[in-house]
Amino acid sequence: MWSAGKSNISGDELVSKLEEGSTKWTKASIQVLHKLWSEHGVSVHTQQEAQAMLSIGQLVDMQWKLGMAVSSDTCRSLNSPFVCLLLKIVEPSGQICQRSFEMTIPQFQNFYKQFKEMAAVMETV
């Protein structure tokens, strides 16, 4: 049924594929599946499309450290603190990747505020 939802087939096509694949389906169960799929198959397809679009990596680890730039050939604003973040993410494919970036203290405070808001919203779901 999962692949039927992904390919958005009709109730008639689903019944045909089920009958081709196995002789174990009774006529009554085929009729019930046909009726249910005809009524709800579109919503299954829509839900699977939404899941595919929202398929993003899962954050599995986040590390941070506070640093201070004291010398640089290219940086003008030395002696200002920064936060370095290292994120470990599991991609939908299963591959683990790491992303790191640096932020100023005000940027990090804003990031923290947004992260906290996201966590509060996710708890309500």
110: left (phi over 0), alpha (psi -120 to 50) or beta: alpha
Fold classification of 58-124 is Nuclear Transport Factor 2; Chain: A, (3.10.450)
Mean pLDDT by 10 residues, the chain (125 residues): 58 76 76 79 71 74 87 68 90 87 89 89 80
In the sheet that holds 81-90, the strands lie side by side as 58-68, 81-90, 96-104
Q: Which residue has the tokens 């389906």?
A: 25
- Token reading at 84: 């370095």
The per-residue DSSP string of 32-73 comes to HHHHHHHHHHHHHHHHHHHHHHT---EEEEEEEEEEE----S
Q: What is the rounded CA–CA span in Å between residue 47 and residue 101?
A: 34
Q: What is the pLDDT of residue 3?
A: 56
